Structure 1
Amino acid sequence: MTTRRTRLIVALDTKDEAQAARWRDQTAASADAIKLGLEFTYAQGLDAVRRVAKGHSLFLDLKLHDIPNTVGSAIGSLADTRPAMLTIHAQGGSAMIAAARAAVDRAFPADARPLLLAVTVLTSMDEAALHEIGVHDDPCQQVLRLGALAVAAGADGLICSPHEIIPLRDRLGDAPVLVVPGIRPAGAETGDQKRVMTPTQARNAGADWIVVGRPITTAADPAAAAAAVAAELAG
């Protein structure tokens, strides 16, 4: 496998702009990017996204999932937030993913296009949760199916749990960018995450980026917690 540097995204999961800015500043020395998602964007709007992200690499995690035309139009509306990464749901299908690809290429200059990342199976879902919605494969099989579909339709990479990194690399090679939530440092509570690994395990499996939120932001010292994760990735 290609030697890669695994980088850290700190998830600023809050509805409060001042809190997001504090976490951003506390972790800036260790974070390679910040994540703003549905919780913050719905509460504060895109102007606040731009303010908090200014000067930082932004993972804009809105998980777009709609008919192809709507997703393409929405991506155009997000262009002035200047994200480094955007997310869509792979379950939207190949036509939706292709429309998202075309919208990214159209809405952003060539030297500032975000990575288009397709969410495969949420890390909160296990086999029982998939069966509940009519998917009778296990999570890994479903991730592989959706991952191959998304990359073929134009996605730059995938969002997957750490448990699917190695199978995806075996199936799709080193080219797709793999961004991996469900990361919990040793001893941290798993919360609502079902398929988790430590930063070291995800790095060794082949993650390009890991996403860490609550183990950093709810720590007594977020700066130290972020530094510890970054040091673990570098070790």
Structure 2
Amino acid sequence: MTHRSPIYVALDTPDIEHAKALAQKVRHHVGGIKLGLEFFAANGRPGVREMAALGLPIFLDLKLHDIPNTVGKAMQALSVLEPAIVTVHTAGGRAMMEDAKAAAPLGTKVVGVTMLTSLDGNDLRSIGLQDDVHGQVERLTGLAREAGLDGVVCSGAEVAIAKKIWSDGFFVVPGVRPADGVVGDQKRVVTPRQARDRGASVLVIGRPITKAEDPDAAARAIEATL
């Protein structure tokens, strides 16, 4: 089996031609493509099919969060696309996560978003939760495991804790930045190498690759550090 890079490039754009051009440039040095809400709202299932035709695994980062029945039906509607990874919000609760996993295709990893990497303790307090980021991630990781999900999405700062709770879990780490990278709007960041060493299965990297002067060289440089 050929080695597949743990890097999923985040193509956060509504412009499908731009997304395709970027994917073509970096396809040899990434393991997959992450398509989020922005892309899906603009291009829907046909757009995802077009991206899948490039031959890379698709990570649909839609962060489903609704009543269990609705999330189950949404997952069913997405299953024809056979995505490699789909996200749901762990805060939707155990029944919702169980229904999401039950409705997903066999080969699809359903991973639970614990806490958005744009949030910190102050944000948690503002929505009525304790401002203990680590504690929150720990609790939701345990819940995702009990619900039968494949793993969770968490920041590089929490992936080691998640791995301790769930030794064979699948861990998606966004918000990683190369040592010389710009942090942007993320509040909790680590380097790709640190994230891998702490237990990340997959790294989601957007701007450090997509906004680089030479996206392929940027992807290759990050891959080399792993």
Query: TM-score, normalised to structure 2's length?
Result: 0.96
Q: CA RMSD in A?
A: 1.1
- Tell me the residue number matched to 2:116: 122
Note the C-alpha offset of 1:232: 0.9
Amino acid at match of 2:31: D
Q: Does residue 172 in structure 1 map to residue 166 in structure 2? A: yes
- Is the CA contact 2:12–2:35 (under 8 Å) kept in the aligned structure 1? yes
Alignment of 1:1-235 (within 5 A): 7-54=6-53, 55-104=55-104, 108=105, 110=106, 113-173=107-167, 175-233=168-226
Between the aligned partners of 2:123 and 2:62, the Cα distance in structure 1 is 22
Structure 1, residues 158-199: CA drift from partner, whole Å, max 9, x if none? 0000001111122222x1100100100012111110110001
Worse-superposed segment, 128-137 or 61-70: 128-137
Consecutive aligned runs of 4 or more in structure 1 exceeding 6 Å deviation: none
* Percent of matched pairs sharing the same residue: 48
Note the C-alpha offset of 1:137: 3.8
Number of residues of Structure 1 aligned to a counterpart in Structure 2: 222
Amino acid at match of 1:97: M
Note the C-alpha offset of 1:6: 7.0
Q: 3-state DSSP class of the match of 2:157?
A: helix
Amino acid at match of 1:86: V
Structure 1, residues 108-161: CA drift from partner, whole Å, max 9, x if none? 3x4xx2001000000000000111111114111100000100111011000000
Structure 1, residues 68-121: CA drift from partner, whole Å, max 9, x if none? 0000000010012120001000000001001111111xxx3x4xx200100000
Structure 1, residues 189-222: CA drift from partner, whole Å, max 9, x if none? 1111011000111111111110000110000000
Note the C-alpha offset of 1:17: 0.4
Between the aligned partners of 1:8 and 1:25, the Cα distance in structure 2 is 15
Amino acid at match of 2:216: A
Query: TM-score, normalised to structure 1's length?
Result: 0.92
Q: 3-state DSSP class of the match of 2:47?
A: helix
Amino acid at match of 2:78: L
Between the aligned partners of 2:183 and 2:177, the Cα distance in structure 1 is 7
Q: 3-state DSSP class of the match of 2:96?
A: helix
Amino acid at match of 1:146: L
Does 1 or 2 have the higher relative contact order (CA < 8 Å, sep 6+)?
1
Between the aligned partners of 1:219 and 1:185, the Cα distance in structure 2 is 12
Between the aligned partners of 2:44 and 2:101, the Cα distance in structure 1 is 24
Between the aligned partners of 1:100 and 1:77, the Cα distance in structure 2 is 11
Between the aligned partners of 1:139 and 1:23, the Cα distance in structure 2 is 34
